[in-house]
Amino acid sequence: MAMVKAWSFGLVLLWFSTLSYYYPVNAADDNNSTLGASFIFGDSLVDAGNNNYLSTLSRANIPPNGIDFKATGGNPTGRYTNGRTIGDIVGEELGIPNYAVPYLAPNSTGKAILYGVNYASGGGGIMNATGRIFVNRLGLDIQIDFFKNTRKQFDTLLGASKAKEYISKKSIFSITIGANDFLNNYLLPVLSVGTRISQSPDGFIDDMISHLRNQLTRLHQLDARKFVVGNVGPIGCIPYQKTINQLNENECVDLANKLAIQYNGRLKDLLTEMNGKLPGAVFVHANVYDLVMELITNYKNYGFTTASKACCGNGGQFAGIIPCGPTSSMCDDRDKHVFWDPYHPSEAANLIIARQLLNGNTKVISPVNLKRLRNL
């Protein structure tokens, strides 16, 4: 969920990574491609480098981002965290031997795509207008257009019959999106005033759900069957929001969280509807809001020392105004911070969240967890 940070990114866009994006997770051979692919859609929470190839104000291919990403020896890749994203960790735990390659990377062709493709984009949202402050980003509609291209490549690689089986029976589609539709659209200072006057929160959320219904249906038409869809986290509790609203450590922005909760209720109903409507599909609801709120509320129980202050950033009490870049202050104990930067979780927090999604009960992921979804 790349936040409103356009004004500060001009200072840190001079450094550009030229690393390869086909990272081995382990030494598994090509036979492991029978496990299926991981197709990742969403925003900066799961972007693995697509924005590196866009003329955009939202990028993370600058140090010290990626400082703990072992696959590159600590060099940045375009991930908005210090190490792995939730999508990376889930793919590893499910046994996929390589990280999903960013769609816009030059090597997102041939056998590389058999392990999966990442279409996520920092600043992207469900609504096409979301993230326009960043100039360029990939909204979910465009991401699905790109998957349509990938789908054709699978037919070429495997043959039509095997490709359909591989995608529908063995692959998992994860969608992590929605936060930017509030923070960089409906709640965007100044630019969104007209929208808020003309459209109530109920009306805006109705539009989000309507768009998402159509988007999920499009993926189903392209043979996607196993879905995991994350709800919106407690966006009022991120260091950026706490800093600009001058809140205390144990406070969160009430309006932002209320909008997230309202949308999340509608999302859960939508996924129930889709499970009953689309033949052969399994839509899994990932309760990211409660998982993240648990970490924020009880951070000491998980070995963290703070759930308010960003490890990498500058400005205000919680280092929550200026994004992470070469001139930012950075903590020494990165695994003790819930938040890596003013907007995104650390790898340590991502690891806890991912493992709950993989193995958790129906309070956090329903109707089945990801380990069970893989085996369906």
Catalytic amino acids? 44, 341, 344
Cα–Cα distance between 204 and 19 in angstroms, integer? 40
Distance of alpha carbon 340 from alpha carbon 311, whole angstroms: 5
